A and B are shown apart, each in its own frame.
Chain A
């Protein structure tokens, strides 16, 4: 049975996808209901299982909005060098706490999830790539674009104007 801490953990993960608290609760409730109906005896990690359920359910709900974004080929070209990919990090990016919510609002669901898994769940990029079943280079490309976006924010007074094409 999931305790309060685990439920909150899943709720925050859902928020990273939806960026909406009500929608996150509905998503969580729906997935917990479904989880309770499956045979959980073979499930090693209920949290990981439920995260996949939440993610899949969210994708189903937002399929028309195109959850997956194509990777910008120009961005891939710019970071095609393997050494530069390995050195690419976002720890050196700094933001104001009061602007985090607005910054997340300018991001796509997949980008918010990536940041959440990395910053809050503290997965490495390689681990996230394994969890999400996507190539590591694709994630690094996204990080590159995110970093650029945040840097643009630092040069601007208006966070809501940060919707730029990388």
Chain B
């Protein structure tokens, strides 16, 4: 070791630390940060160049508009997430088909399946006795004039997840085969206030209505 280069440790440390300085860019950023904090409404461009201002903006993000944003950043994100979830749920509920629409869709589907009848009879009593697992007795709908319709038979089916009756009937005027559905009345239909709803679903003409406390549906192919 060359002793001629030795210097006191305090002097050596002073020189060592004196050689350490912030760069101009770092100093500009720290000063601009202070100016923004002291005058939040002032534009950053007044104190630093446009390029530096862009860098500052990108670093501070929302803090530029909300100085204390960091303090409740988690709460902000949690609230935003909850709001997004609420919007998705609300949107899906709004777009969900109504109960009446779902029942009409199901009747159209059942009609298209064209399942064979389980009991073949022209007598409502016979069909009623066979379909004894229903929670209600099947009826002769007043909407269908008896003289124009002939009962061919019936079978069990499902309407809105509940056991229901599917009756096959024939229109004697045009010999078309219809399916008539009878199910325990749905509260959603009662609230709708509509006496009869009709619609064309997948090429099937469907109508539903309430009668004698039951939900009735009629489907026919064109």
Contact = CB atoms under 8 A, between A and B. Distances in A.
B15 interface: yes
A126 interface: no
Interface stretch (A27-35, A64-72, A74-82): A27-35
Contacts of B11: 119
Given A12-B17, A21-B20, A93 B30 contact: no
Interface string B1-37: 1100111111111111100111000110111011101
B34 A25 contact: no
B15 A97 contact: yes
Contacts of B31: 1-2, 4, 7
B136 to A, nearest CB: 71
Q: Is the interface of B mostly helix, strand, loop or mixed?
A: helix
Given A97-B12, A115-B13, A116-B13, A25 B1 contact: no
Contacts of A152: none
> How many B residues are at the interface, by size bracket?
20 to 34
A16 B8 contact: no
Given A32-B33, A33-B33, A97-B16, A25 B26 contact: yes
Nearest to B27: A4
Interface residues of A, number: 37
Given A32-B30, A36-B33, A120-B14, A93 B9 contact: yes
Given A32-B34, A96-B7, A97-B7, 8 more contacts: A1-B38, A2-B31, A12-B17, A28-B30, A36-B34, A94-B6, A119-B13, A157-B1
Interface of A: 1-2, 4, 7-8, 11-12, 15-16, 21, 25, 28-29, 32-33, 36-37, 90-98, 100-101, 104, 115-116, 118-120, 150, 154, 157
